Amino acid sequence: MRVTTKGQVTIPRHIREEFGILPESEVEFKVENRRVYIERKLGTENKFKQLRGVATVKMSTEEIMQLTRGDE
């Protein structure tokens, strides 16, 4: 992986998806023992955007509402 002349590096798609790094996400760099780490800065994005694509069960809105309300 190369750094551009502007100091930019592309974060691979599989890493962005795994860690929820979306366009306009904020990240921060940490340096430890001569290594550089990149972390997604939490709390800077819309909470719904952070959860996009996380659900694994296919449920309708009505089914979710019944589940959360306890309706039978």
User: How far apart are alpha carbons 10 and 23 in whole angstroms?
Assistant: 12
Rounded to the nearest integer, the mean pLDDT of the chain is: 84
Residue 58 lies in a domain: yes
In the chain, the number of structural domains is: 1
Residue 7 lies in a domain: no
Question: Quick one: how many helices (H) and strands (E) in the chain?
Answer: 3, 2
Residue 63 lies in a domain: yes
Residue 49 lies in a domain: yes
Residue 41 has pLDDT above 60, yes or no: yes
Query: Taken in order 47, 52, 54, 60, is the CA torsion positive or negative?
Result: positive
Phi, psi of 27 (to 5 degrees): -130, 160
The verdict on pTM exceeding 0.85 is no
**What pLDDT, in 10s, does the model give residues 4-37?**
999 999 999 999 999 888 888 889 999 999 999 9
Residue 5 lies in a domain: no
Q: Residue 61 belongs to what H/E stretch? A: helix 61-69
Residue 65 lies in a domain: yes
Domain residues for the domain of 54 are 13-69
Residue 22 lies in a domain: yes
